[in-house]
Structure 1
Amino acid sequence: MKKLGWMALVAGALSVAGCGTDPLESSRARPVMEDYATLVYENYTDAVAKARVLQTAVDAFVADPTEAKLTAARTAWLEARPAYGQSEVFRFYGGPIDDEDTGPEGRINAWPLDEAYIDAVEGAPEAGIINATSEYPTLSEELLISLNERDGETNIATGYHAIEFLLWGQDRSVTGPGNRPASDFVDGGTAPNAARRRQYLKLATGLLVKDLESVKTQWTPDSNNYAKLFRSQEPKEALLQVLTGMGSLSGAELSGERMTVAYDNKDQEDEHSCFSDNTKADLYANALGIQNAYLGRYGTADRHGLDELVAVVDPELDREMKQRLQASLDAIQAIPGPFDQAILGADNAEGRQKVKVAIDALRAQTETLADVATALGITLNLE
């Protein structure tokens, strides 16, 4: 999501149904919200662990910038993405990840990214913070934080996609990702300011780990933190937040910002991970996160989920919701890669047809999520 301005509008449009009898017993609902908090903690724990692996690989590359170590750092970046992608279902309700005042989401996963804001690009060899040695003589975490999204939402200086751009460079290939040489990071190599490029990469990766750790801390069990506050709510208030995250990611964010915009514009710059060609995997991870939240699971752990509550109220709706969730995953998986090529061509081209099927599946899924909320006595108004 480029900006979270609309999130407040969504949150303001949500309200717990004020009339009628609560269809759920607290004894049924509370285990679901308790296990949701556990699921969130496990997901962020995994995201932090994978980010630390990425940090280790980046540190090794920065210390000795060879092609082999660049490949290892790229692999670690790709392997870090699924855990974070699944965690994005925990956004959109003002939790620790995107609290209006303190949430670090904009530093973690903001996009789309103007490459020239960070480093040299084709046609602009002196562009970017890295090459602005007079304006920014000393690079630091504080500087990168201050520059992130300064003077524009594409002025992204930190997070996964800044790291992605540094590792891959611009994507000029129709068949694969960017292919920045390791020599761009070698003093006297193929690009000036190699030492600053190494330092920037190291700083951005370290900041990513810190920001993810700060969110994980807020969901740590048995602590005086957001998780404690979440667990202390009435079940319906907590479930309202759960459904807000699911519906917002499924609808306005995933089917909208991340897919329809790129589909309509046919522009590589509008895809989520445009440097590494990891967009399809990102989309799949997001959809999987929504399914996780409904079923109460992460990885091999399977706990109480919303499905148990919906099955009590409307078994047929529960079956429909599960089918919608799987249909979205299957439709995303069917998109031919890379995503930046799938969005091109006429509307009857195979790639575009597959992308459209996935968009439609996510929209249908979002509508069914609204029905699920209604069945639970919750009014959910989404874009």
Structure 2
Amino acid sequence: MKLRSLLGHSITASLVLASTSTFAAKVTQEQVVEHYADVAHAVYADALITAKALDQSIESFLASPSKASLFEVQQAWLASRVPYQQSEVYRFGNAVVDDWEGQLNAWPLDEGLIDYVSADYQYELGNEGAAANIVANKKLKIGATTLDVEQLTPEAIADLNEVGGSEANVASGYHAIEFLLWGQDLNGTNAGAGERPYTDFVVGEGCTNGNCDRRGEYLRAAADLLIQDLEWMEKQWSADEKGNYREELVNGSAENGLRKMLFGMGSLSLGELAGERMKVALEANSTEDEHDCFSDNTHNSHYYNEQGIYNVYTGLYKREDGTLLSGPSIHDLVAQQDKQAAKEIQKQFDVTRSQVGQLVTSAEKHGQAFDQLIASNNTQGNALVNETIMALVLQTEAIERAAKVVGITNLSPDTADHEF
């Protein structure tokens, strides 16, 4: 799936969601929390489906590496990001998700831990694992510790996360796979993503940059671990499982569940998306701090984070197979209490989603991806990112207003220590 068609998919979803929004006459907090769990399960089920498709594409690619098959597996990775990014709204407020997600989506990473890097590679100061190069070495010496990594299994990769005590030592998850598929993006704030040659995975004659068999083993194991992790989380939200997180959530206080929903929306909107994922990169003009930095997919990553927030507010989610999941929502609760507030809050969501969508338009129609927008000499690009940050701040204020309307006070979304 090309990036342009990903945008088309998101626009189609937006139109469908906007046209099918319901105003239920009598909706309870309990119903809203239960539907929230239903949507979460659907999102993680879709993330698992697309991760399995990615895994199959990786197997096909490794069986017969070529320029065409590398492109296909890259498209499978891009497609897998669509549902996963919509799941991040569940991180905040749900410890079961936040404690787990670091193994799947941690960033930025010191890619020298995993594979070869350029001679001028800039790594995190003090990180003793920044140049470990797991692909090239079956034994690693990090500080005073020697590690045996001859067998690149999912378990071994999981154990290497944050090795040496550094959060930059990300060995697993979407971004480790992204780096293995694209390689470093050496273009700085100029146009272009990573350009890893497919020959980096050709075993035997024709292998470039050495250790092609190990590189393939690493890629395969990382994909297997991704699936294992997503299978676990899908079960945590399944109505068919007993004693899981969903059961705890829906059997608990509905007010507490509603607070988790609103806190998750506000925290992703403000501290994480506006702050960690945009403000940090913009203020430092740092391509290392953009989210999907190897593939230049950051604009889509931001867009689907925003879509995830919108999903929770409206109770609507367009699944990978095209079906629309709908049900009792926070929007319905607000409308029951104050129809005018509901209209105004909905309008702010629409404005913010449109503004975040401009990052996608910039990348796919005007050829300026997020890493170009944050360049120190790109006045218009900086302004676009700043306008998007401010739209997210206003959206967070709308979320706090919605919380007050439905009786949730002192929401205090996470700012991640950013000031806006």
Provide the TM-score with structure 1 as the length reference.
0.89
Shift of 1:27: 5.9
Shift of 1:124: 7.6
Which residue in the other structure is 1:244 paired with? 263
Q: After TM superposition, list the pairs within 5 Å mapping 1:133-282 onto structure 2.
A: 133-135=138-140, 136-150=149-163, 151-173=165-187, 174-187=190-203, 188=205, 189-224=207-242, 225-282=244-301
**Counterpart-to-counterpart distance in 1, 2:239 and 2:78:** 29
Shift of 1:295: 0.2
Shift of 1:138: 2.3
The alignment status of 1:341 with 2:387, answered yes or no, reads no
Relative to structure 1, the CA distance from residue 240 to residue 26 in structure 2 (aligned partners, 3 Å threshold; closer, same or farther) is farther
Contact 1:36 1:296 in 2 (8 A): yes
Contact 1:47 1:84 in 2 (8 A): yes
Q: Which letter does structure 1 place at the counterpart of 2:264?
A: G
Q: Which letter does structure 2 place at the counterpart of 1:142?
A: E
Q: Which letter does structure 1 place at the counterpart of 2:171?
A: A
Write the deviation string for residues 108-155 of structure 1: whole angstroms up to 9, x where unpaired: 000001111111001189851111223332222222111112221111
User: Pick from 330, 333, 355: which aligns with 2:385?
Assistant: 355
**Counterpart-to-counterpart distance in 2, 1:214 and 1:137:** 27
Q: Which letter does structure 2 place at the counterpart of 1:129?
A: I
Which residue in the other structure is 1:5 paired with? none
Which residue in the other structure is 1:331 paired with? 355
Identity of aligned residues (%): 40
Ranges in structure 2 where 5+ consecutive residues have no aligned partner: 1-24, 122-130, 141-148, 319-323, 364-368, 416-420
Q: After TM superposition, list the pairs within 5 Å mapping 1:1-383 onto structure 2.
A: 28-98=28-98, 103-123=99-119, 127-135=132-140, 136-150=149-163, 151-173=165-187, 174-187=190-203, 188=205, 189-224=207-242, 225-299=244-318, 300-335=324-359, 336-337=362-363, 338-346=369-377, 349-379=379-409, 380-382=411-413, 383=415
Which residue in the other structure is 1:6 paired with? none
**Counterpart-to-counterpart distance in 2, 1:158 and 1:310:** 41
Report the 3-state secondary structure (helix = DSSP H, G, I; strand = E; otherwise coil) of the residue aligned with 1:378: coil
Report the 3-state secondary structure (helix = DSSP H, G, I; strand = E; otherwise coil) of the residue aligned with 1:154: coil
Q: Which letter does structure 2 place at the counterpart of 1:61?
A: F
Q: Which letter does structure 2 place at the counterpart of 1:74?
A: Q
**Counterpart-to-counterpart distance in 2, 1:123 and 1:96:** 40
Report the 3-state secondary structure (helix = DSSP H, G, I; strand = E; otherwise coil) of the residue aligned with 2:292: coil
Relative to structure 1, the CA distance from residue 316 to residue 328 in structure 2 (aligned partners, 3 Å threshold; closer, same or farther) is same
Shift of 1:65: 1.7
Contact 1:116 1:124 in 2 (8 A): no
Provide the TM-score with structure 2 as the length reference.
0.81
Relative to structure 1, the CA distance from residue 127 to residue 183 in structure 2 (aligned partners, 3 Å threshold; closer, same or farther) is farther
Aligned residues: 354
Contact 2:37 2:237 in 1 (8 A): yes
Q: Which letter does structure 2 place at the counterpart of 1:139?
A: L
Ranges in structure 1 where 5+ consecutive residues have no aligned partner: 1-24
Report the 3-state secondary structure (helix = DSSP H, G, I; strand = E; otherwise coil) of the residue aligned with 2:96: coil
